[in-house]
Amino acid sequence: MTIYDLASVCRSKNAGPFQVTIDLMFADAAAYERVLHSPRFTVETLAAAYHADPGAVAIKPFARLRTIKVVLPRPASSGSPADCDVYGSQQHFPLGAWEI
């Protein structure tokens, strides 16, 4: 199963000029726990997938809301000539396709 299969919402968005967040929202606690505790879902694996420094990646679980927020550094600041996604709205695709 992929994260897209387990999450009812999987979206990314701009979180300022230097960060992007990916929000994963789950309809049930079992899917939330499955993703959160997956051996594949770690700061290190996220950093590798997004070519980022693990120290700059954060996983923020919100159990009461069955939501996980992933914070990633942007490879280029928002709006700079090197930026390819000003709004950060396309950054969830690699994570959403992960098999869990």
Separation of alpha carbons 2 and 96, rounded Å: 7
Label the pairing between strands 58-62 and 19-25: unpaired
Residue 75 has pLDDT above 90, yes or no: no
| Domain range for 19 | 3-96
Separation of alpha carbons 23 and 9, rounded Å: 7
How many structural domains compose the chain? 1
Residue 51 has pLDDT above 80, yes or no: yes
Separation of alpha carbons 98 and 7, rounded Å: 12
Separation of alpha carbons 47 and 21, rounded Å: 13
Mean pLDDT of 40-68: 97
Nearest to 31 by CA among 76, 58, 72, 61: 61
Mean pLDDT of 6-12: 95
